[in-house]
């Protein structure tokens, strides 16, 4: 007699937990070679971010540019890349989805197809040995080292993001995502010169491009690292996901990561009254004005 679905589910969860706790084989140059292009790009962006913070580049317009572009970029990732597209947590008009995709693409976390494909792959193998930012390998690996190497999971992107590959607009963004920074940089340079800010146009370019990108990078990476190491758990998911309040603030609600792993398709990540979810507030507003519909929403069970 075959086992019941409940027994099979429990057995599967036990197998996954065993994988999570298993020793990790050392990474080798053969399996995970360094990506020279990624390492060089990240080094250049961090140098640019440091240059932005030099005293002669500081001004209130620079702070305002950083704040506005940080909001646009993070919302593009959390609301657009993540909840709207990767998990299809709600539906909206095509123009809104494409606007969110452009905003998310400003993060330069590869194009939307690779981002969505790798994210779906992460959920399938969360904290298992073939998870590309496997938290069981430590904070540094899950935070950023994983992306400085060739990523084997990229070979699975077509399997996990085939729905996006069928859309020419997504394919265009995938190809040209990096070049979108060029018109943005020109606009910031013109604005800086027009306002005669300290440091001139280049100051706003530094604050609006490398500094913004580096801050968004580390905030996003904290979801991969800190929310698999620090915080509390509402649900016994077969992974290491946690709810971390300070990551939730920085990442506009993405820090309620254990909730998200328990209910990946939920448009709302902060499920308890004190789990404030900034992205969810944006979604509520868009629903209130009639721009989105068919929301999937999980609720914290009554105790």
The pLDDT profile of the chain, 303 residues, written as one tens digit per residue, is 445 433 444 554 555 556 566 778 888 778 789 999 999 999 999 999 999 999 999 999 999 999 999 999 999 999 999 999 999 999 999 999 999 999 999 999 999 999 999 999 999 999 999 999 999 999 999 999 999 999 999 999 999 999 999 999 999 999 999 999 999 999 999 999 999 999 999 999 999 999 999 999 999 999 999 999 999 999 999 999 999 999 999 999 999 999 999 999 999 999 999 999 999 999 999 999 999 999 999 988 744
Closest CA to 71 of 208, 237, 190, 241: 208
Residue 295: Cβ-neighbour burial (10 angstroms; 0-12, 13-18, 19+): middle
- Cα 216 → chain centroid: 9
Torsional sign, CA 27, 33, 35, 36? positive
State both tokens at 103: 């905003």
> What are 162-169's contacts with CB under 8 Å, separation 24+?
164/85, 164/112, 164/113, 164/116, 164/117, 165/113, 169/98, 169/101
Q: Which residues contact 50 (CB under 8 A, 6 or more apart)?
A: none
Q: Is the distance from CB of 90 to CB of 267 less than 8 angstroms?
A: yes
């Amino acid at each position: 007699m075959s086992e019941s679905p409940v027994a099979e589910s429990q057995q599967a969860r036990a197998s996954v937990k065993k994988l999570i706790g298993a020793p990790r084989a050392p990474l080798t140059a053969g399996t995970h070679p360094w990506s020279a292009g990624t390492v060089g790009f990240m080094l250049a962006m961090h140098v640019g971010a440091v240059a932005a913070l030099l005293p002669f580049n500081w001004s209130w317009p620079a702070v305002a540019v950083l704040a506005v572009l940080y909001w646009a970029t993070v919302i593009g990732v959390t609301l657009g890349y993540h909840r709207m597209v990767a998990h299809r947590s709600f539906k909206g008009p095509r123009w809104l989805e494409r606007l969110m995709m452009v905003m998310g693409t400003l993060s330069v976390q590869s194009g939307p197809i690779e981002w969505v494909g790798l994210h779906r792959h992460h959920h399938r193998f969360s904290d298992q040995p073939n998870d590309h930012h496997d938290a069981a390998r430590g904070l540094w690996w899950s935070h950023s080292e994983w992306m400085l190497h060739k990523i084997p999971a990229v070979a699975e992107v077509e399997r996990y993001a085939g729905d996006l590959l069928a859309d020419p607009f997504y394919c265009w963004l995938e190809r040209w995502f990096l070049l979108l920074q060029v018109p943005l940089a020109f606009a910031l340079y013109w604005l800086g010169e027009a306002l005669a800010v300290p440091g001139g146009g280049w100051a706003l370019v530094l604050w609006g491009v490398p500094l913004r990108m580096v801050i968004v990078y580390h905030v996003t990476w904290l979801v991969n690292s800190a929310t698999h190491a620090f915080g509390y758990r509402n649900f016994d998911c077969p992974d290491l996901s946690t709810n971390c309040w300070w990551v939730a603030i920085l990442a506009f609600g993405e820090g309620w990561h254990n909730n998200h792993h328990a209910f990946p398709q939920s448009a709302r990540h902060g499920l308890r009254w004190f789990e404030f979810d900034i992205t969810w507030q944006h979604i509520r507003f868009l629903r209130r004005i009639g721009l989105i519909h068919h929301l999937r929403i999980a609720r914290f069970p009554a105790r």
